Structure 1
Amino acid sequence: MSDFSVDRRVWVLSGVAVLIGVCATFLAVLLLRLIALSTNLFYYHRLSFASVSPAGSPLGHWMVVVPVVGGLIVGLMARFGSDKIRGHGIPEAIEAILLHRARVDPKIAVLKPVSAAVAIGSGGPFGAEGPIIMTGGAAGSLIGQWMHVTDSERTTLLVAGAAAGMSATFATPVAAILLAVELLLFEWRPRSLVPVAVASATAALLRVYWLGAGPLFQMPALPDLTRVSFVIGALFLGALLGLVSAGMSRLMYWFEDRFDHLPIHWMWWPALGGIGIGVGGLFFPRGLGVGYENIAELLRGNAPLGLIVGILIAKSLMWAFSLGSGTSGGVLAPLLMIGGAVGALAGHLAHASADAQAVWALIGMGSMLAGALGVPLTAILFSLEVTHCLPALLPLAVACVASYIVTAMIMPRSILTEKLSRRGYHLTREYGVDPLELVLVKEVMSPLALGEENLTLPKIYTYADSTTRSAAELMATEGVERIPVIDRANGQACGELSLHDLLRGRGRSVVRESERLRLYSYVPPELGGHN
């Protein structure tokens, strides 16, 4: 009857989570280095781990061919290695958690980062975060497969690796924990939250030595953000980004449907997607690769209009077309860039100052993330952690919630869960207390039949003051449809609980959700009312 179900196993999992945090950080650093190496090999024909942009390549028109070669390599890896490397990375992690007992094939831990490095290094307009989340989750799952743990504990270790990978990539330990809760854990319990937080914090600490302390993006000095007009503007911008995020999701899956109708094997699709990347990169070279430098320029408030329009048109089409082809890459960085461009464009149209344009770009980024992924809390904290821009909290929160409610009302699924739906799986993203947890056994139990009052203590029973949820779990475990109820005070049988009784307890939540009552109405004293 305690508030939380937690035992000493949480300390074991937390200790393992430290190791997972170390592994995930190493894998994140390795993937970022592999992306840099691939970019140098594809576009500069040299062995180097220096971080460079494909936009400065001297290849000229031959740059069109590079993404095609990269897509062909990814297609071959997926065909003869594992098709699980295709796609965003996060939907695959969710699928492993819900459908495969949190078991990830060891090949994924190797093939996913390599394929992502090839896809992004050859110009793919993707983010590294999705593959890193999947790779970190694979590491956590593998460690969990080597241990004697339950499926729930293995899930916790998988999610701990995923959160650590995100924390190491972006220096966002709190946002990584919230992403785990909003998107991966499907619960809010100390037994899982604590190990995930330990892994995320470990990765954030180690990141300082390998990648720097952060913030990932610097922001200029900010204007006054507490004005009513600014908050109202953020509300409307957030609602607009909700529509944009829904449109981007539908555009990407529209392209995916077009590829599904092609009369060739899916192994060749990433190469065809590479054609779209190459042609788009020919007109807008800054659309190639991850493009963190574009996000940084948007958040400085000095992005030229040409860059903003290029992101909104060329980058959006390149990303949606190529990701629809089934190649390997993440959605987070491109969505941040597109959302930031919408916010920066709004600042341009409003003739805002450079500092104010930077804030509008930040609000656009957070709103896009909240709407597209359906994670408003993560979007708020993520935007603050990557910029350390705490004064933007109020308008950012308003905009992210506005974007979230717009997409929740017009989109049945997010850009991530839509992938699972197309594979025939449905999941709900709404969390709440089990209604049976709020109903005691004595409130719905049936009386004993005549002559059974002196019933001896049976082997399987429940107490009258227990929750119906605990009784339901006991009945499910023992495979029985009816169970005696014991009075804890005197140890005597006082009733019995059946499946029908449990349904009556469950029905209370239906009434609570559907019945509308006016509990207070004012009647003037002259008509018989009371003061």
Structure 2
Amino acid sequence: MLEKIRQYFIFGRLGVKLYVLAVITGLLSSLAIILLRLTIDFGQMALFPSGEVESYDSLPWYWLLVLPIIGSLLIGLLFRGLDAEQRNTGILHVIERLSSYEGRLPWQNAVRQFIGTSIAIITGHSVGREGPGVHLGAASGSILASGLELPNNSVRILVASGSAAAIAASFNTPIAGVIFAMEVIMMEYHIASFIPVILAAVTGAVVCRLTFGDDTVFVNLATQMQSLWELPYIIFLGIIIGFLATLSLKSLKLFSGTFSKHPAWLRPTYAGILMGIFGMAVPEVMGMGYGIIGSISANEIAIGSLVIILILKLLLSSACVGFGIPAGMVGPTMVVGACAGAILGYIGNLVLPEYASSMTFYAVIGMCAMMSATLKAPLAALMAMLELTGNPEIILPGMLAIVFSSLIIHDYFKLDALFVSILRYRGLDFQNDPISQALRKVSVGAAMQRNFVTLNQVINAQMAMQTLKNSPEWIIITRDRIPVVMMPASDLARAVSVKEMGENSEIDLMQIPGTRRDVHKISLHTSLFEAYQALNEHHVEALYVSRQNAPMIERIYGILTREMIEAHYQLPKSVTK
């Protein structure tokens, strides 16, 4: 039964059959997010004297100093003795595996992500749970797809589905989850991917609402723009946010390269020391910092505190992630943007109180502009802004801020998105051009030619005639049961018709006139992108698609040529015109 299910998904194009798996992925992803959130919340409530989440200010000064150091030492022990591949976590890990491994994520990394993130946030490191949540969601889809042995193009869609469900469950923003998965994770938009990703995001949001209620992670963000005269000031806000986003990326690169020769398990301790020193002085910078946004919306925080929190949060978040704390920067990035927006809102109210909107309005604009500029995800930021506030009128000023923040970081400073920058900084070849995107969407099972036969190099005339009665298009020639070349069946038919021979006459398929192509093996699970790479890497003219069904038993399912790959690339290209 399982084998029939696997073949059902392997053969043919993607379609309705992935929808059920997308819903299951959304369910698994949301459960992982809920478990992570509850683990962090209960861990903090048990640790703090106040019994409240993120109430670091209730701890004595010496605990504020040593708690992050203890946490970083535990994280170092968790990752000690592992190679670089085993230590990789977060959104960066997901994008890297999509780029180089077609989305197949090891479950061991996901487990380390869960444990490491829980320790980091509970012990006060300035990081977020959204990036780790995306890793857990993507791993849910990848593990489900790998368990069913689905082709790699199906794996990619379920990885995107799990990522969308994770964002939807984290922020209670299903639309932003879908766009985030397309812009940040897949870095492409394709109609075949949208429906399963939407289903997964809806599933994640529903499960989250059943568990935590209908409120978003940020409450009391209802905002209203007072006057169109604010638009020039909002453009100025976008420019300032663009510079802050640039500083964030450059500081992350700086910390990533600092002490890079030191043991990987020891580097998180440096982040713990920094967090302890500055957290002792300003406890508000510890943890995810979502309480800061709540204080802004309630007008319970002084402008001087906001300036200090902005500077420390930006630098400490970069330090934590740069030194190897296994958590994310999405949440802290939004907190930094909210602080910057609130500061500018305060200044605007001082200069032109009759025209300026509230600090909360500018905080929301700054939060989403920072998210857009850092992640290169303008649509996801817009949708998050809409869903978090429930106010469609905020889209107009939000678009302006997002455009100008993006212009500063990506056009003026020429910086890539956060995760792409880190990938290239590590020397990884990140390919995401339109041709690569198109080829990754199609499995070899959908493009291969199955009208073929497999013959030994030497056969008799009777076998040749019997083979030709079934009208095959291709013949795979084997030597000692190993395919070596393939040739058109018409070449064998021509040789038999030209030469009269008895039934037992021998025919050497390597000697008769014909067009033979060197072949190389490729897995049934691979995509056309991997097949195209294999043709170039092994310098062959064709591939035979195989899968091991049992120990020592391998079945050939089809053959694939460069022309077949190009034909499948032309199909979606012509449809879009």
- TM tier relative to shorter chain: 0.7 to 0.9
Partner of 2:383: 381
Q: Taking structure 1 as reference, are residues 434 and 304 closer, same or farther at Cα in structure 2, changes over 3 Å only?
A: closer
Cα distance, 1:390 vs structure 2 = 2.1
Name stretches of at least 5 consecutive residues in structure 2 with no aligned partner: 1-10, 440-472, 475-487, 489-527, 543-561, 571-577
Structure 1-normalised TM-score?
A: 0.76
Letter of the 1:290 counterpart: M
Check the 8 A contact 1:246/1:411 in 2, yes or no: no
1:257 aligned residue? 257
Could you say if the C-alpha distance between residues 390 and 432 of structure 1 is closer, same or farther in structure 2, counting changes exceeding 3 Å?
farther
What amino acid maps onto 2:395 in structure 1? L
Letter of the 2:162 counterpart: G
Q: Would the alpha carbon gap of residues 164 and 434 (structure 1) be closer, same or farther in structure 2, given more than 3 Å must change?
A: closer
Q: Which residue of 1 aligns with 2:293?
A: 295
- Corresponding residue for 2:518? none
Partner of 1:152: 153
- Does the CA contact (< 8 Å) of 2:225 and 2:357 recur in 1? no
Of the three residues 7, 11, 25, the one matched with 2:30 is: 25
Structure 1's 165 and 403: CA in aligned 2 closer, same or farther, altered over 3 A? same
* 2:116 equivalent in structure 1: 115
In the TM superposition, what is the alpha-carbon distance from 1:147 to its structure 2 partner? 1.2
Query: Is 1:38 equivalent to 2:63 in the alignment?
Result: no
Quote the offset at 1:113 in angstroms: 1.1
Do the aligned residues in 1 keep the contact of 2:157 with 2:193 (CA within 8 Å)?
yes
Query: Which residue matches 1:216?
Result: 217
Alignment check: 8 A CA contact 1:299 1:362 kept: no
Q: Residues of 1 paired with 2:93 and 2:234: CA distance?
A: 33
CA gap 1:193/1:388 in 2 versus in 1, 3 angstroms:
same
User: C-alpha displacement at 1:43, in angstroms?
Assistant: 4.3
Instruction: Please state how far the C-alpha of 1:10 moved relative to its aligned partner.
Output: 2.0
Shift of 1:237: 1.1
Aligned AA (2:342) = A
Match of 1:369 in 2: 371
What is the aligned partner in structure 2 of residue 484 from structure 1? Answer: none
Deviation string for 1:338-359 (max 9, x for gaps)? 1111111111122256952111
SS in 2 for 1:97: helix
Structure 2 matches for 1:75-114, cutoff 5 A?
A: 75-80=76-81, 83=84, 89-114=90-115
Cα separation, 1, equivalents of 2:151 and 2:437: 22
What displacement does 1:257 show? 1.3
For 1:7 and 1:25, how far apart are their aligned partners in 2? 29
Task: Give the whole-Å Cα distance in 2 for the aligned partners of 1:298 and 1:7.
Answer: 53
- Separation of aligned partners in 2, 1:337 and 1:176: 19
Q: 1:335 to 1:38 in 2, by over 3 A?
A: same
Relative to structure 1, is the Cα distance of residues 335 and 431 closer, same or farther in structure 2, using a 3 angstrom cutoff? farther
Within the candidate set 415, 419, 423, 1:416 is matched to 419
Judge conservation of contact 1:69–1:274 (CA < 8 Å) in 2. Answer: yes
Conserved in 2, the CA contact under 8 Å of 1:42 and 1:66? no
- Which residue number in structure 2 is paired with residue 197 of structure 1? 198
Q: CA deviation digits over 1:246-298, x for unaligned, max 9?
A: 1111012112211214xx31211111210000111111101111111112222
Q: CA deviation at 1:405?
A: 2.0
Q: Is this contact kept in 1: 2:89–2:109, CA < 8 A? A: no
Q: CA deviation at 1:211?
A: 1.5
* Equivalent position of 1:335 in the other structure: 333
Residue 407 of structure 1 pairs with residue 412 of structure 2: no
What's the counterpart of residue 184 of structure 1? 185
SS of the residue 1:330 aligns to: coil
Q: In structure 1, how many angstroms separate the alpha carbons of the residues matched to 2:278 and 2:188? A: 42
> Does the 8 A contact of 2:225 with 2:361 survive in 1?
no
Structure 1, unaligned runs of 5 or more: 1-5, 437-457, 461-468, 482-497, 507-531
Give me the CA root mean square deviation.
Answer: 3.3
In the TM superposition, what is the alpha-carbon distance from 1:299 to its structure 2 partner?
Answer: 3.6
Q: Any idea what the Cα deviations from partners look like across 1:163-214, whole Å, max 9, x if unmatched?
A: 1111101011111111111122243223322111110111111111112112
Q: How does 1:222-233 map to 2 (within 5 A)?
A: 222-225=223-226, 227-233=227-233
Equivalenced residue count is 445
Q: 1:58 to 1:425 in 2, by over 3 A?
A: closer
Is the Cα–Cα contact under 8 Å of residues 166 and 176 in structure 1 kept in the other structure? yes
Q: Secondary structure of 1:267's match? A: coil
- In 1, Cα distance between the equivalents of 2:83 and 2:282? 32
| Residue 241 (structure 1) aligns with | 241
Q: 1:432 and 1:54, CA in 2 relative to 1: closer, same or farther beyond 3 A?
A: farther
User: 1:295-351 CA deviation, whole Å, 9 max, x = no partner?
Assistant: 222244553213311221222222222222111111111111111111111111222
**Residue type matched to 2:233 in 1?**
G
Letter in 1 for 2:362: W
AA of the residue aligned to 1:16: L
Distance 1:119 1:435 in 2: 39
Instruction: Choose which of 290, 300, 324 in structure 2 pairs with 1:326.
Output: 324
- Are the equivalent residues in 1 in contact too, given 2:222–2:391 (CA < 8 A)? no
The two structures have a TM-score, normalised by structure 2, of 0.71
Deviation (angstroms), 1:26: 0.7
Distance 1:281 1:347, change over 3 A: same
CA pair 435-26 structure 1, distance change in 2 beyond 3 A = closer
Name the CA distance, whole Å, in 1 between partners of 2:118 and 2:279. Answer: 18
Q: Tell me if the contact between 2:248 and 2:315 (Cα under 8 Å) persists in the aligned partners.
A: no
Once the two structures are superposed, the pairs formed by residues 365-514 of structure 1 within 5 Å of their partners are: 365-409=367-411, 410-427=413-430
For residues 115-153 of structure 1, the C-alpha deviation after alignment (integer angstroms, 9 at most, x for no partner) is: 100011100111100001001111111001011321111
Higher strand share: 2
Q: CA deviation at 1:83?
A: 5.0
Larger Rg: 2
Structure 1's 221 and 198: CA in aligned 2 closer, same or farther, altered over 3 A? closer
Deviates more, 1:66-75 or 1:146-155: 146-155
Q: Is the contact made by 1:87 and 1:329 (CA closer than 8 Å) also made in structure 2?
A: no
Summarize the Cα distance change of 1:146–1:235 in structure 2 as closer, same or farther, 3 Å threshold.
Answer: same
Identity %: 25
Q: Is the 8 A contact 2:188 2:437 kept in 1?
A: no
Match of 1:316 in 2: 314
What secondary structure, in the 3-state scheme, does the structure 2 residue paired with 1:187 have?
Answer: coil
Distance 2:88 2:245 in 1: 18
Give distance in 1, aligned partners of 2:345 and 2:230: 11
Give the secondary-structure state (helix, strand or coil) at the position aligned to 2:349.
coil
Which residue identity does 2:35 align to in structure 1? L
2:524 aligned partner: none
- Whether 1:270 and 2:271 are equivalent positions in the alignment is no
Contact 1:366/1:383 (8 A) holds in 2: yes
Query: 1:423 Cα shift?
Result: 2.1
1:427-451 CA distance string (max 9 Å, x none): 3667699999xxxxxxxxxxxxxxx
Residue 420 of structure 1 aligns with an amino acid whose one-letter code is L
Opposite residue 293 of structure 2, the aligned amino acid is I
Aligned to 1:466: none
How far, CA to CA, are the matches of 2:336 and 2:174 in structure 1?
24
Hey, what's the Cα distance between the residues in 2 that align with 1:122 and 1:222? 33
Structure 1 counterpart of 2:135: 134
Letter in 2 for 1:32: R
Q: Report the residue type matching 2:380 in the other structure.
A: T
Structure 1: distance between partners of 2:15 and 2:190: 11
Return the alpha-carbon distance in structure 2 between the equivalents of residues 110 and 284 of structure 1.
32
> How far, CA to CA, are the matches of 2:287 and 2:402 in structure 1?
27
Give the drift of 1:20. 0.9
- Provide the secondary structure at the position in 2 that maps to 1:259: coil
